[in-house]
Structure 1
Amino acid sequence: MKVRSKDILSAIALGIIGFTLNSCSSTRYLKEGEELYVGPDIVIDSDSLSKKHKEEMKLALNDLLRPVPNTRVLGVYPNLALYNMAGNPEKTSKLRRWMRNKLGEAPVLFSQVDLEYNSAILTNRLENHGFFNVTIESDTLKTADKKKGVRYHVTPGEQYKINEVTFLNDSTPLQQLIYDAKNWTRLKKGKAYNLDDIKEERVRFDNYVKNKGYYYFSPNNLLVQVDSTVGNHKVDLFVKVKDDAPKPALKAYTIDKVYVFADYNISDGDYMKGIDSADQYNGMTIVDPKGKFKSSIYDRTIYLEKGETYNRNDHNLSLNRLVNLGVFKFVKNSFEISDSINNKLDAYYFLTPDNPKAIRVELLGKTNSASYNGAELNVNWSNKNFFKGAELFSVSAYGGADFQSSARNNGYNVYKAGLEASLTWPRLIAPIDFNPLTGHIPKTKTTVGYEFLQRSKLYSLNSFKASWGYLWKQSTTIDHQFNVLETNYVSPNNVTALYQEYAKGNPSLERVLDKQLIFGPTYTFTFTNTMKQHKTHTFYYRGSLDFSGNITGLVMGADVNKEKEKTILGVPFSQYIKTEHDFRHYLKLGRTSQFVSRIHAGVGYAYGNSTAMPYTKQFYVGGSNSVRAFRARTLGPGSFDPRSIDSNFIPDQSGDVLIEMNLEYRKKLISIIHGALFVDAGNVWNLSEVSDRPGGKFSGDFYKEFAMGAGLGLRFDITFLVVRFDLAFPLRVPYYEEGSRWVIDDIRLGDRQWRKDNLMLNFAIGYPF
């Protein structure tokens, strides 16, 4: 039976209509007397609070109320509709049971609401924030037939503020230590009373005294007494160590012995049996009977040393560094009092080794917006303890093919195969001993690799690369990567007469056939705090610098004005400076939605021995992670019209300058399904005019040459990966005549030919940015 696209679209339309109708009738399956709970409405009655403070209070209180009503989108209940559509799970298929239990939501009934419990929760939260005279009244809110909500009238009264903060000062060393640190307290006079601030302050003082040797101290040993009888809506705070604090908590300890059990198994009975034959290394007793690890790996991981005062920062730093070595499956640490009179502790590190060797095989299917479909096989073998010093040695082999599915370009397929090996040491192998005290150990990494690429009927490329560099993490949010030397040599082979004929007189295509020798340092700086989910605003920034042949060019006197390029082993070397910057802002709009904006820009400048940037180092736009309304590498440079050339092969537009901007609204729809609306803009330009790419030079009118597109997408977040589909169409085409570049008026979604010419479906793994 032949299935027409019209029939498919009709079925989809009917499904959407049915789903919407089912969503609207969300109460039809409720039993007699049952009512759907539509959620709370909180009203803040206060003359002393600002409008902004009221809104913030309302949002905070709303999150405390239970139960949480069914998910609602644009007035309908999609999750509840799926639950209802699935029917009786005992009499339906596995698919329907999955839809009911995984995607659907059971109806949240008004009978599940406990008004007294919710009122008590709201009162408690407000009192913890200094509103001691709060009153709360609740009313039933009937919104529709079989639907009910609750309105809470909250009158918080005037918020109490801190009048005085007093720290006890006596002769005990611990209390004196806390008293001496009172100037750094965050409990300040005039600040609003907040129980959360007091709890955080107890934790902060706990960390402070632990760094002074008080291992057994805890936040519960510190008492903050509150006196609210001062009057005038003020409180006095009195800070002291509790009278009944245990004796060990009142003592500062020093480290006595450090034991490292490098091959520990939780099933081991007497783990101390190997102590007599253990190695002694830099004050540590290392139990490693099979010699699995070099003792030197603990020099830069364990920072608690014999005779030193116990320090919580060094304690945590040691654990984090042992974990980040990557060779231990489990890391456990404990302390025991070895001398109660002289207040000494023994430190024990129990390390369970991970399997050092692993092999991973990946088979990938892929498609892209340049009409290519293909597959790739990757095989990776790694050893995480190659020289017994936590060195990571990795070898990867890969091969793949991309087939051009477009009828016009059929047969111009791409085949590639490669081999890459890398070795990473958990230290910096450099003249300067650089070892920042963070939980991540600085690393040295060297890489060598080879790739063969064959473009059918056109040419093949042999590419060799090697690098030596350093990676270190300045903090949890800042990363650095500095490659002292990064080399890439590219040599074309088997260039066909067909390609030579087509490329003749076209500098952009002739450049692909040039041998390339690129070498020099590169540096990349990355900042991100996107892991802080509680923040409303989070950021990501990645900036890089790439230099090639700079010093060599100076030494050899390279100059493009000279008749002949300088060469190394007969190959002209590239000389350029390139910088690239990627900035992203994530604005959290609620628990299930966010707004993401991005600016991506870069520039590369060739000089000295080079008249143009190497082809592999230029920028391009379009595709699934860029301006999604256009195919990859089909835009630019500038206002150059790609239709003016006979693109018998592969669209491949690139440039020296990149400016790209993206805006995207993301929202969770149902279960693992997320939706997105987006607008993209960008283009590439050349710094100088290229004869076969007229209109591509960067000028003061560059802003008139932006391409723009918009669209919507679906993302399936399966925890360990995100499968993404983005459908986009152009809003502005830079190679049209000025005055005709905006194409918004030409949008005809109902026109089949327009959809064929303009709609671009992007399939990708992961978010675009």
Structure 2
Amino acid sequence: MSKKHSNMKTKCIRCFIAISLFFVFGCSNTKYLPKGDLLYTGGSVTIKDTIITKKEKKELEANLTALLRPLPNKQFLGLRPKLWFYNIAGEPKKQKGIRYWLRTKVGEPPVLFSKVDLDYNASVLRNFTENKGYFKTRVSSDSTVSNKRVTAEYTVEPKRQYKIKSVTFPDDSLAMSRIIGRSSRRSLLKVGRPYDLDVIKAERERIDARLKEKGYYYFNPDYILAQVDSTKGDYEVKIRLVIKADTPPKALTSYKINKIVVYPNFTLSKDSVKYRKEDIVQYKDFTIIDTANTFNPRVFDRAIYFKQGDLYNRKDHNLTLNRFVNLGTFSFVKNEFKLSDSLPNTLDTYYYLTLLPKKFIRVEVLGKTNSASYTGSEINVNWNNRNLFGGAELLTVSVFGGADFQLSGANSGKNIYKLGTETSLTWPRFVTPFRIEGSSEYVPRTKATLRYEYQNRTQLYALNSFQTSFGYLWKENIRKEHQLNVIDVTYVSPNHVTAEYLADIKEDESLAKVIEKQLIFGPTYNFTYTNTMQKRKKNTFYFSGDLDLAGNITGLATGANVKKNDTIKIFDVPFSQYVKMRGDFRHYLKLTKNSELASRIILGIGIPYGNSGALPTSKQFVVGGTNSIRAFRARSIGPGSYLNTKTDNSFLPDQSGDLKLEFSTEYRAKLFSIVRGAVFVDAGNIWLMNADPNKPGGEITKDFMKDIAVGAGAGLRFDLSFFVLRTDLAFPLRKPYLPQGDRWVIDDINFGSGPWRKENLILNIAIGYPF
């Protein structure tokens, strides 16, 4: 058969399939309709006879179309499969079984034309356009019937849009009127802009928020009246804002704070709080009624922003509530303001706090796999005390253990076991010689940590790792977060190094760095910024930056900064000196409601100096793996164009470097139900700052871009609400360790070849998105 006839046959088959699908999903849906009714397939809106621009017309038509109700049955490629499943399931006899599941969970009932109210939709469209300043709009409706299907058509004829000619604010003798007048420069109502009812409502809320900051607790936006005059001028309106005459007197009054009462042991199941006289504690401006003497009164002094005699304002009101919630010791926080009986124009403030259990145990069990063909599990047992010293301190004691196995592959039998413990104590404040106050709604924290871990790589070596840190965590707002560890010490010591591994070191000297004793100490700092929680924004960002300064002060004290020959040791261990910086920038572009383009770039550099000729192995950069360049196995790339060919042993060492450049971009889209799909491209590599004779090609040069590794792939993500299960299948496009001119391997891609798949296809299974 000729190629031409083959193509014609393929086209005929595709056409037959398309016609069959249309018949199955389309025509069959109408035969199940109730007698005399029609299937409603949607509505459209056309703007007619208007002088507005094409862009404004298109936007207005889209906004109006979105208002039409009911919505038609959901479509996929012009078909209605959910309606088809509903119809073929029929009426189930029982509320269980496959038929019931198909009809109620998979399918959806037909949207009938008898349920469509054309006049109601027309009135909705008219109200919307007039609220946007198109006064005296005419709306007409019609319908078109074809093959038991019907569409609704609405024609909207708006007049010229009215603009704001002037805005006048309350000018009476009330004190609040003067406050409103002084804030007029922040008004949302601007002369020359279109009349918009939604903007007027937003302006009333802005004024209310301003008054709430000035003590007007009982005021609300409904007490502001917007008088609109459209009788004069050429398609213009005058807007006058006034305080309603029937506004209650207490809403016209500003209030100060009088009594502040806290109930730290409030129980939701009880209608009232019972306490004894000896349970009452007076501390500064607060009255604390703690029936169990649970907390040090200073906890409330730090959490409550109000002081007796302060003017009420909503900012301090919300800050206090958020601080109580962020302490992490209360399951329920309730606040109440009451008019004071003792002083006029004052409010008594009451805080009702319900405690979480003070002590609890959490057990975490997880399974994991990585692209280095290791499969394993881990268990963490955490014991917590939420209020150790009565100041809402959190003590956490953890014991953990895990194992990773490679059942086949280069490292078969060389399993990894780890066991350890960690203790941390977190104070809900800055622990410093002097008191530091913040105005953030987030509670600043001080955290001290002590950790020990024993890791054993069978047949190779074991490592003992000790770490301790002391530092501060604080958030400026929901977008900006800081973490500063003023003390951060790590000590690593090898144990049980086998003869096999020592023999490997003779063949590849770089393996010796893994079992070197390490002493690392110095301050570390991290800054994070994100606005990804703003779901309506088209562009959102995430940035995380790290700064690690090791041994800088000690280097000055010991002279290690200037000594060139001798390595200075502390407790017979050389201490590390370096400066390390890392930046992780991510951008998310929202394409549609259910799709986005996510991109990430990571830059990292570590500069050893003084007492160190290279960064400690544990602090070097790596690439490859489930959250990195997914087409290559974990930690297998680089540095540079280096490829370990020295040894024939079965142990494959991790590759690491002093510099890192990594880029990823990923298109994500919802496919159906809980299933999301993605296609992605990853690129990057690591390099050494200084040439290493044991790793030729590993150092950074001006031609570093020639060493970039590139991979691509696709994956499925299953969003189960409480976690996301991710499966990514990736393959390399460029291998930096091949000779120049042969590094691009796109032409070698052959999914039908078993040897190619075995060597190049990498399956990544992970929890959560890669970034």
Indicate whether the TM-score tops 0.5. yes
The equivalent of 1:356 in structure 2 is 358
Cα pair 1:666 1:675 within 8 Å, conserved: yes
Match of 1:210 among 202, 212, 226: 212
Cα pair 2:50 2:157 within 8 Å, conserved: no
Cα pair 1:559 1:608 within 8 Å, conserved: yes
Shift of 1:240: 1.4
The change in CA–CA distance for 1:485 and 1:70 in structure 2 (over 3 A counts) is: farther
Matches within 5 A, 1:257-406: 257-271=259-273, 273-274=275-276, 277-339=279-341, 342-406=344-408
The change in CA–CA distance for 1:31 and 1:303 in structure 2 (over 3 A counts) is: same
Match of 1:63 among 39, 50, 66: 66
The change in CA–CA distance for 1:202 and 1:494 in structure 2 (over 3 A counts) is: same
Matches within 5 A, 1:428-507: 428-504=430-506, 506-507=508-509
Cα pair 2:275 2:291 within 8 Å, conserved: no
Counterpart AA for 1:673? V
CA distance in 2, matches of 1:108, 1:117: 17
The change in CA–CA distance for 1:471 and 1:515 in structure 2 (over 3 A counts) is: same
CA distance in 2, matches of 1:88, 1:494: 70
2:673 matches 1:674: no
CA distance in 2, matches of 1:664, 1:314: 42
Match of 1:229 among 224, 228, 231: 231
SS in 2 for 1:669: strand
Cα pair 2:417 2:455 within 8 Å, conserved: yes
Cα pair 1:79 1:670 within 8 Å, conserved: no
CA distance in 1, matches of 2:23, 2:618: 55
CA distance in 1, matches of 2:64, 2:216: 38
Shift of 1:340: 8.3
Shift of 1:152: 4.1
Query: Once the two structures are superposed, what CA deviation does each residue of 1:244-276 show, in whole Å capped at 9, x if it has no partner?
Result: 111110111111111111111123344265467
CA distance in 2, matches of 1:572, 1:641: 29
CA distance in 2, matches of 1:704, 1:567: 40
CA distance in 2, matches of 1:505, 1:626: 29
Match of 2:712 among 710, 714, 727: 710
Counterpart AA for 2:24? S
The change in CA–CA distance for 1:84 and 1:712 in structure 2 (over 3 A counts) is: farther
Counterpart AA for 1:397? V
Compare 173-182 and 46-55 and name the one that shifted more.
Answer: 46-55
The equivalent of 2:559 in structure 1 is 557
SS in 2 for 1:511: helix
SS in 2 for 1:299: helix
CA distance in 2, matches of 1:637, 1:286: 62
The equivalent of 1:126 in structure 2 is 129
Match of 2:634 among 632, 649, 660: 632
CA distance in 2, matches of 1:21, 1:699: 61
Counterpart AA for 1:579? M
CA distance in 1, matches of 2:349, 2:196: 38
The change in CA–CA distance for 1:291 and 1:65 in structure 2 (over 3 A counts) is: same
Which stretches in structure 2 are left out of the alignment for 5+ residues?
1-15
TM-score by length of 2: 0.92
Aligned length: 752
CA distance in 2, matches of 1:383, 1:347: 30
Compare 219-228 and 62-71 and name the one that shifted more.
Answer: 62-71
CA distance in 2, matches of 1:750, 1:148: 49
Cα pair 1:506 1:691 within 8 Å, conserved: no
Shift of 1:35: 5.6
Query: Once the two structures are superposed, what CA deviation does each residue of 1:318-372 show, in whole Å capped at 9, x if it has no partner?
Result: 1111111111111101111114872111111111111121111122111111101
CA distance in 2, matches of 1:192, 1:681: 49
Cα pair 2:188 2:202 within 8 Å, conserved: no
The change in CA–CA distance for 1:136 and 1:767 in structure 2 (over 3 A counts) is: farther
SS in 2 for 1:510: helix
The change in CA–CA distance for 1:94 and 1:689 in structure 2 (over 3 A counts) is: farther
TM-score by length of 1: 0.92
Compare 192-201 and 314-323 and name the one that shifted more.
Answer: 192-201
Counterpart AA for 1:614? P
Shift of 1:416: 0.4
Shift of 1:589: 1.9
SS in 2 for 1:440: coil
SS in 1 for 2:418: strand
Matches within 5 A, 1:20-39: 25-27=24-26, 28-33=28-33, 37-39=40-42
Cα pair 2:508 2:646 within 8 Å, conserved: no
Compare 28-37 and 484-493 and name the one that shifted more.
Answer: 28-37
Cα pair 2:726 2:766 within 8 Å, conserved: yes
Counterpart AA for 1:124? N
CA distance in 2, matches of 1:367, 1:85: 42
Shift of 1:740: 2.4
The equivalent of 2:8 in structure 1 is none
Query: Once the two structures are superposed, what CA deviation does each residue of 1:638-690 show, in whole Å capped at 9, x if it has no partner?
Result: 22235665462135111111111111111112121111122211211111222
The change in CA–CA distance for 1:47 and 1:695 in structure 2 (over 3 A counts) is: farther
Compare 568-577 and 274-283 and name the one that shifted more.
Answer: 274-283
Query: Once the two structures are superposed, what CA deviation does each residue of 1:155-177 show, in whole Å capped at 9, x if it has no partner?
Result: 44432221100012121212222
Cα RMSD of the aligned pairs, angstroms, is 2.7
Counterpart AA for 2:117? D
Cα pair 1:428 1:444 within 8 Å, conserved: yes
CA distance in 2, matches of 1:96, 1:410: 49
CA distance in 2, matches of 1:745, 1:85: 48
CA distance in 2, matches of 1:335, 1:681: 58
Matches within 5 A, 1:560-575: 562-575=564-577
Cα pair 1:516 1:573 within 8 Å, conserved: yes
CA distance in 2, matches of 1:44, 1:639: 62
CA distance in 1, matches of 2:52, 2:657: 55
Compare 245-254 and 549-558 and name the one that shifted more.
Answer: 549-558
SS in 2 for 1:720: coil
Cα pair 1:103 1:670 within 8 Å, conserved: no
The equivalent of 1:526 in structure 2 is 528
The equivalent of 2:764 in structure 1 is 762
Matches within 5 A, 1:145-164: 148-164=150-166
Cα pair 2:45 2:154 within 8 Å, conserved: yes
Compare 581-590 and 374-383 and name the one that shifted more.
Answer: 581-590
Cα pair 1:37 1:148 within 8 Å, conserved: yes
The equivalent of 1:516 in structure 2 is 518
Cα pair 2:598 2:665 within 8 Å, conserved: yes
Query: Once the two structures are superposed, what CA deviation does each residue of 1:97-129 show, in whole Å capped at 9, x if it has no partner?
Result: 556544554444555443333333333222222
SS in 2 for 1:231: coil
Shift of 1:753: 3.3
The change in CA–CA distance for 1:23 and 1:215 in structure 2 (over 3 A counts) is: farther
Compare 379-388 and 452-461 and name the one that shifted more.
Answer: 379-388
CA distance in 1, matches of 2:22, 2:669: 19
Compare 650-659 and 617-626 and name the one that shifted more.
Answer: 650-659
The equivalent of 1:13 in structure 2 is none
Cα pair 2:279 2:290 within 8 Å, conserved: no
Match of 1:183 among 185, 189, 202: 185
Matches within 5 A, 1:14-93: 25-27=24-26, 28-33=28-33, 37-45=40-48, 48-75=51-78, 77=80, 79=82, 89-90=92-93
SS in 1 for 2:477: coil
SS in 2 for 1:329: strand
CA distance in 2, matches of 1:679, 1:193: 48
Counterpart AA for 2:188? R
2:411 matches 1:409: yes
The equivalent of 1:12 in structure 2 is none
Shift of 1:210: 1.3
Counterpart AA for 2:709? A
Compare 516-525 and 621-630 and name the one that shifted more.
Answer: 621-630
Cα pair 1:102 1:671 within 8 Å, conserved: no
Compare 391-400 and 117-126 and name the one that shifted more.
Answer: 117-126
Compare 710-719 and 102-111 and name the one that shifted more.
Answer: 102-111
Compare 46-55 and 456-465 and name the one that shifted more.
Answer: 46-55
Query: Once the two structures are superposed, what CA deviation does each residue of 1:496-538 show, in whole Å capped at 9, x if it has no partner?
Result: 1111111225343111011111111111111111111122221
Which stretches in structure 1 are left out of the alignment for 5+ residues?
1-16
Cα pair 1:23 1:81 within 8 Å, conserved: no
